[in-house]
Amino acid sequence: MKSPLLLAASLLVLSTVSYGFLETRALAHRHRLTGTTAGKFLTSEELWFSQILDHFSPYDHRKFQQRYYEFLDYFRAPSGPIFLKICGEGPCTGISNDYLGVLAKKFGAAVVSLEHRYYGKSSPFKSLETKNLRYLSSKQALFDLAVFRQHYQDSLNAKLNRTSGENPWFIFGVSYAGALSAWFRLKFPHLTCGSLASSAVVLAVYNFTEFDQQIGVSAGPECKAALQEVTSLVDQGLASNTKAVKSLFGATELKVDGDFLYFLADAAVMAFQYGSPDELCNPLVQAKKDGEDLLNIEWQAVYAKYVNEKFSSVETYDQEYLKVTAITENSADRLWWFQVCSEVAYFQVAPANDSIRSSRVDTRYHLDLCKNVFGEGVYPEVDMTNIYYGGTKIAGSKIVFTNGSQDPWRHASKQISSSTMPSYLITCHNCGHGTDMRGCPQSPLCLEGNAQNCTSPEVVQKVRQKIIEHMDLWLSECVSGDSRNHMTM
C-alpha cells in the first residue's frame, strides 16, 4: 500500500496545471503496437538511416548506416510532440520501457532513438583501429542527431501528406547521452523545444578526484572504512602474492596491477552509482564488526563474492582486450575509452588523502592506458571540450538537469539552477545515476522507471512533477511562438 506522502505526490502529478500539452483523455487514434508495458522495450524493431560520416568536411561525402527506433503507440497525430531519446556509449538495442514511456503517454508523443555512431551496429568501418576512430566524437554525434532529426521530420511530413510543418521536439538523455542532450539544445536551439539532461556529465574533468570522494560520502563512515581496509590489504597482497590476490577476485587475467586495482574500485562504485549500496555495505560492515580478516577464506562470502557475482566481464578492464580492433558485441569498451582518452578524460584518480581506491590508480595509469591502447598522440583535450560546450557554465536555455545524491558522476554535472536551466538533486539513500528516468535501483531496468523501491519515492515523484511542468510549458511556448526559438506548426 502506498504511503500517504507518496499517494499525495501521485495525486499532485495527476492534478498538475497544464499549458496545453498534457494528455488528459484516451487517444482517439492508435498506431500498430510495437511493444507492451510489460516488456523491457517499448520497441526493438530496427530501422536504418543513411548518415554523413564527416559533418565538418565539404569534400568528404561518404555515408554510413545508422540504426534507430521509433515508437508511435502514444503519438497524437498529426501535431503531437516527438521525443528524441539519445543513445549513449553502448549498443542501442531498442527504446527502453523506462519513465520516458510514461511521459510519452502523458504528452501523446512519438518516441525515436538514434544509436550513437560507431557503437552497436552503427559502425562506419569494419575495423576499429585508431586511425578509423577519427570521426568518433561528441561533436560529430551532435550533428548526427541534427541531421537525423531533420530527416525524420521530413519523412513524418510525407507520411502525414503535408509538404511542410514541424512537430515540437524534446530531447532526452542520461549520463553521457544526458550531456549530449544538453549540448544539443545549446548548439541547435532551433531544433528542439527543450532538453532533459539526466545525470549529464557536461564538465570534462582531467583529474576527477571528486568521484572517489563522493563514493566515500555515499558509503558512510563504516562502509568507507571497510572499503579502505580492503584496498590497503589488496595493495599489500599484490606486493607479496599477486596471483593469489587476483585469483580471490576472479581476475587473474588482469596482468597489469593498475587494471586490477581499477576493476576493484569500480566494483564498489557500481553499488552506489546504480542504487544498490546495501548489497555491498551491509555484509562488508558486518564482516568488519565480526573481526574477520577481509581477505581470508571467510571473505570469499563477503566482498569477493560480491565482486565475482556483479562483475563477470573482467576482461573489459584488460588493456590487451581494449586493443582488439575487430568489431564485436563488446566493442563499446574500446570506443568509450577512445572518447575518454581524446575528449573528456574523467580520469577517476585517487585523491591525495583519504581515498578509497588505491593511490596507484593515478593520472599516470590513465595516460599510460591511453598510449598503450591507442598509440602516440591520443590525449584528452579537456580544456578545448569545456571551451566548446561551457562545462558547468553552459550558456543554454530550457534544459532540465537532474542528479541523484549518491551518484559520483554528479560532480561533472550542472548542479546549480538558473532561471532558464533548472537543476534538481534527487536525495535518497539509493538515488544514483539517472534516477528520474530509471527509478530504483537504476540497474537492472525498473519498468516505467518504477520509484517505489527508492528509499524516498516521494522525492523522486516531486522532481518528476517539476520535469513535467517544465516540459508542458516549453512545448506550449514552442508551438505558440512565445519563445524566440519557436517552431511553425
Is there a cis peptide before residue 380, judged by omega within 30 degrees of 0? no
Q: For residues 370-389, give the mean pLDDT.
A: 97
What is the set of active-site residues? 175, 407, 433
Question: Tell me, what's the pLDDT at 64?
Answer: 98
Does the pLDDT at position 264 exceed 60?
A: yes
pLDDT single digits (tens) 199-256:
999 999 999 999 999 999 999 999 999 999 999 989 999 999 999 999 999 999 999 9
Domain chopping of the chain, boundaries? 4-202+390-480, 205-382
Question: Tell me, what's the pLDDT at 416?
Answer: 97
- How many C-beta atoms surround the C-beta of residue 187 within 10 A? 16
Question: Tell me, what's the pLDDT at 290?
Answer: 83
- The pLDDT > 70 percentage for the chain reads 89
> How many whole angstroms separate alpha carbon 130 and alpha carbon 252?
28
Q: For residues 275-288, give the mean pLDDT.
A: 92
Burial class (CB in 10 A: 0-12, 13-18, 19+), 353: exposed
CATH number of 4-202+390-480: 3.40.50.1820
Quote the crossing angle between the two packed helices 277-289 and 303-310, to the nearest 10°: 160
Question: Tell me, what's the pLDDT at 308?
Answer: 85
Of 134, 102, 98, nearest to 118 by C-alpha is 134
Q: Kindly report the average pLDDT of the chain as a whole number.
A: 90
- How many C-beta atoms surround the C-beta of residue 180 within 10 A? 26
- The pLDDT > 90 percentage for the chain reads 81
**Radius of gyration of the chain measured on its C-alpha atoms:** 23
> How many whole angstroms separate alpha carbon 433 and alpha carbon 199?
6
> How many whole angstroms separate alpha carbon 395 and alpha carbon 408?
24
Strand ranges across the sheet with 47-52: 47-52, 63-71, 110-114, 82-86, 169-174, 195-198, 399-404, 423-426
pLDDT single digits (tens) 441-452:
999 999 999 999
Q: What is the DSSP string of 112-147?
A: EEEPPTTSTT--SSSB--GGGGTT-SHHHHHHHHHH
Please tell me which residue, 459 or 6, carries the higher pLDDT value. 459
pLDDT single digits (tens) 394-404:
999 999 999 99
Does the pLDDT at position 31 exceed 60?
A: no
Q: For residues 371-377, give the mean pLDDT.
A: 97
Q: For residues 262-272, give the mean pLDDT.
A: 95
Question: Tell me, what's the pLDDT at 300?
Answer: 53
Is there a cis peptide before residue 444, judged by omega within 30 degrees of 0? yes
295 — pLDDT class (breaks 50, 70, 90):
low
70: enclosing H helix or E strand: strand 63-71
Does the pLDDT at position 487 exceed 90?
A: no
Does the pLDDT at position 293 exceed 80?
A: no
On whether the CB atoms of residues 424 and 459 are closer than 8 A, the answer is no
Of 475, 462, 419, nearest to 19 by C-alpha is 475
Of 42, 45, 21, nearest to 169 by C-alpha is 21
Amino acid, single-letter form, for residue 3: S
